[in-house]
Structure 1
Amino acid sequence: MHHTENRGLMGDTAKVDQDAVLRARVLLLGSDRPSNRVEIEAYRTLAQVSPRVYLPKLARALVARTWELRDPKAHVVLYAEAVDAVRRYDAEAPDRKDQLNGALRGYQHALFAAGRRAEGRAVCEELAAAGQYGRLAVVLAEEGRHGEAADLYARHIVPGSADVSEWTLIEWAAELDAAGRRGEALEVFARVVAEARRTAAEDRSPLASLVWKLDHYARMLRAAGRRSEETAARREALTLLTRLAAGGEPVSWSNIQASWVTLLVLSGRPAEPAATPDAPLPAFGVHLYHGWSPDTREEYFASVPSLEQRVAALRASGDLPGLVAAQRRLTVRRALRWETCGRRAEEVLRPDFDEGVALARRLPEDRSSVARALVDRSMFLLAVKRYEEAHADFAEAFALDSGTPIVTGT
């Protein structure tokens, strides 16, 4: 499939088989459109005699061929040739930079899917040198190089810039936090919360999104020992939930569950092993579709059966604290699968959160576990627009955590 003959001889017509050139032109000019595979063969031949015209066509055809095949190894070969073809463009060719970056993005994805992580990282480094640093930041995070990932974000994010998306800020805060730089992480995530407050106040974003961010902010504040600020954040979230329970969302929204599940998965990072270059994990804080590498994504979901077995074994052994922790890890994975699979019936996921609350309630001395399970379920109920139930769970959790009685009626 990957032809390399005559590489480096573009335009040297003396060494090109003129019969092959003629056959290629006839194939392309025929009344029937040739298959993508045939097009590639023709463009390979014609690019030797007319590189300016046919190298761009060859690169596009190679990328299109990857859409027809499911073999990761074939994808590596095709994207490698596409990258090579674009590199041979005239330096002044229109859109050359964008086409090269596009081919490199496909190439690195194929390398990770094929298990060739070191080579994939090298391609991501080339993309970062061209200004597209996001994938490299994710790869560094996956390998436990959190400080390097955080610094990479810092070098590219202009302080105070309004052009930075909330997703990027969440990713940056997550890496700062994972690197142990909690003060910096809180400063960055405070920007996420502040922007969510502003847009919600202007009825340009849903209150639910602000509640999810406040909940995560409160978790970060607790980890940093800033309990009074944590209580204030939770009280603000409870006020918003009271408003939602009474009157619903002031603005219409449909598909924002990605924000909830990303923060839920991020909250589960402390329960996971530490990532290393030899044992990478997903970049928690990055949504799956925003750049998880194929290898880490597959490993994460492949762990579901073993976690299910562990949950069953812990249930049989009577190890309730271990069961509560394992059940939450399993629920987090199932929540991500639920949010990304396109089938979002509430009934599919609700039992997992109900089970988490039921198990935690069997630990009467561990009020924090009960409160966490209630908040987890509250945030899920908010995602499926069960506002009154979400409010009741959050109010109970707030009362357990703060010792302050809360009236849950609305």
Structure 2
Amino acid sequence: MGDTGNIGGKGNTRTTGTTGTTGTTGKIDHDAVLRARVLLLGSGRLSLWQEVGAYRVLAEVSPRAYLPKLVGALVTQSYQVEDPASALALTEEAASAARRLDAGTPNGTELRRRALGAYERELFAAGRRDEGRAVCAELAAAGAFGRLATVLAEEGRHAEAADLYERHVGSTGGEVSDWTLIEWAGVLDAAGRTERALEVFGRLVEESRRRTAADRGPVASLVWELHHYAGMLLAAGRHAEAAGVRRDALGLLDRLARGGEPVSWSNIQASWVTLFTLSGREDEPAATSDAPLPDFGRYLVHGWSPDVREAWFASVHRLEQRADGLRASGDLPGLLSVHRRLTVRRALLGESRGRPAVAALLPSYDEGVALARRLPGSPSVLARALADRAMFLLAVKRYGDARRDFADAVTLLDDPVSPMSHPTSPE
């Protein structure tokens, strides 16, 4: 097709402002425009780089027609390059172009959100949290508040995150997804707004009860939610209510042990791993802007910041070394705490790689129970370890085993002077 100038040159990641058709004189480079049009009208299949180059040129002379195409192509290309610096430059250009879209551009709002979302993702991956947070605030101003809420929670600013949920979700009175209710309750609880957190999570439980009663929701998910809700009630000092909720969960496990799920469901383990992760927040240090931690109530693939995700999984080796030291020193309480933190991370690693494998994860839960049995006079610690294992066994559909562990946990909590509290034989 002949020389196309700078159109489609691979590696060309310069921003729109520096790759124009007007040059320094302010005049349109009609040859560049013609080459771009011929390239797009040709019969040959273009590479994405060639499309990006052509759209860059034409977006300056026909922005209404070509700016949307440029934004989409830049974002798509950013996912395909391997060099982080190139991906960041592409998304920065996409964000700049998206901000120039006319208010009436078809799908303009979605395009802006997509471009800004890709840009903030690359900023966080590059460790530029302040700039990434600013882009998330820009998205929140346009109604997409979820990422800003996550970023604030990652930095320990849970009250601000909770305020965002109240403003965008709490005042609408409309339908709210299960995921949003978990996230919302999680930041409320972390912000110390205990009663409001119980109200929001209780709403999730009641909606799940209705769905399950009509066979429109998995029984297992309701069990996980009831177990978490009971823990929230217990932490709030509402012991009788917590005991009632635990009994409800045990009744559902009885039902599953007898006949399994009445309806086949796929991909429900995400609920288990998210609630298990949320239960581990109290074992972690406080998050700060300098040392961010995950937004524990948010599912792993629903918006963890790249820098936080990388640091979280990188901490596995450090915690394993710490556990070895505690094991050697005989510090059993310290070892139990670190071991559970490791188990949460291993469960998330399994989720990030697909679904949890029994052979890979069950030993962590078994060890947690064995360690708890060695700690004298601590029925609540053993109950927690047994319940952790029960919820995992439920996730892998070993209903009878899950019911047995959870029944033992309920006995320990309801009757802390039971002989089970002081076992003498190892697990």
Give TM-score, length-normalised by structure 2: 0.90
* 1:221 paired to 2:233: yes
3-state SS of the aligned residue for 2:408?
helix
State the distance in 2 between where 1:98 and 1:160 align.
Answer: 21
2:387 counterpart of 1:375: yes
Q: Where do 5+ consecutive residues of structure 1 fail to align? A: none
TM-fit CA distance, 1:269: 0.4
Partner residue in 2 for 1:328: 340
Mapped partners of 1:300, 1:279: distance in 2: 11
**Distance change in 2, residues 1:221/1:211 (3 Å):** same
Supply the distance in 2 between the matched residues of 1:239 and 1:278 (Cα, whole angstroms). 45
Task: Select the residue among 47, 59, 66 that pairs with 2:78.
Answer: 66
> 2:197: which partner in 1?
185
Aligned to 1:163: 175
Match of 2:353 in 1: 341
Provide the rounded CA distance (Å) in 2 between the counterparts of 1:27 and 1:8.
17
Aligned to 1:143: 155
- In structure 2, C-alpha distance between the alignment counterparts of 1:236 and 1:198, rounded to whole Å: 14
CA distance in 2, matches of 1:160, 1:244: 36
Are residue 85 (structure 1) and residue 97 (structure 2) matched?
A: yes
d(CA) in 2 for partners of 1:121, 1:250: 45
Cα deviation per residue 1:341-381 (whole Å; 9 max; x = unaligned)?
11533211111111111111111321111111000000000
SS at match of 2:144: coil
SS of 1:284 mapped into structure 2: coil
Match of 2:402 in 1: 390
Deviations 1:127-171 (A, max 9, x none): 111111111111110110111111110111145835111111111
Give the Cα separation in 2 of the matches to 1:169 and 1:111.
28
Q: Does the C-alpha gap of structure 1 residues 399 and 91 become closer, same or farther in structure 2, counting only changes over 3 Å?
A: closer
Give unmatched runs, 5+ long, in structure 2: 1-12, 420-427
- CA separation of 1:159 and 1:234: change in aligned 2, threshold 3 A: farther
User: Matches of 1:281 and 1:372 in 2, distance apart?
Assistant: 23
User: Given that residues 21 and 57 in structure 2 are in contact (C-alpha distance below 8 angstroms), is that contact kept between their aligned partners in structure 1?
Assistant: no
Q: Does 1:357 align with 2:355?
A: no
- Aligned residue number for residue 243 of structure 2: 231
Alignment of 1:99-110 (within 5 A): 99-110=111-122
Greater displacement, 55-64 / 321-330: 55-64
Distance 1:118-1:272 versus aligned 2 partners, 3 A rule: same
Q: Name the stretch that deviates more: 172-181 or 85-94.
A: 85-94
AA partner of residue 54 (structure 2): A
Q: How many residues are treated as equivalent by the alignment?
A: 407
Query: Are residues 51 and 352 of structure 1, via their aligned partners in 2, closer, same or farther at CA, if it must alter by over 3 Å?
Result: same
* Partner SS for 2:97: helix
Does residue 332 of structure 2 align to residue 317 of structure 1? no
TM-score scaled to structure 1, two decimals? Answer: 0.94
One-letter code aligned to 2:155: E
| Cα distance in 2, alignment partners of residues 158 and 221 from structure 1 | 21
1:113 and 2:113 aligned: no
2:314 to 297, 302, 326: 302
Q: Which residue of 2 is the match for residue 40 of structure 1? A: 52
Q: State whether residues 47 and 53 of structure 1, in contact with CA within 8 Å, keep that contact through their aligned partners in structure 2.
A: yes
Aligned equivalents of 2:376 and 2:249: distance in 1? Answer: 25
1:16·1:48 contact (CA, 8 Å) conserved in 2?
no
| Contact preservation (8 Å) 2:391, 2:402 | yes
Task: Give the alignment partner of residue 25 of structure 1, picking from 37, 48, 56.
Answer: 37
Letter in 1 for 2:404: A
- Root-mean-square deviation (CA, aligned residues, Å) is 2.2
Q: Which residue of 1 aligns with 2:187?
A: 175
The one-letter amino acid of 2:225's match is: K
Q: Distance in 2 between matches of 1:359 and 1:190?
A: 33
CA distance in 2, matches of 1:106, 1:310: 36
Partner of 1:268: 280
Which letter maps to 2:85?
A: K
Whether the 8 Å contact between 2:390 and 2:406 is mirrored in structure 1 is yes
Which residue type is aligned with residue 112 of structure 2? Answer: L
Pairwise CA distance, 1:180: 1.1
Moved over 3 A (4+): 3-14, 158-162
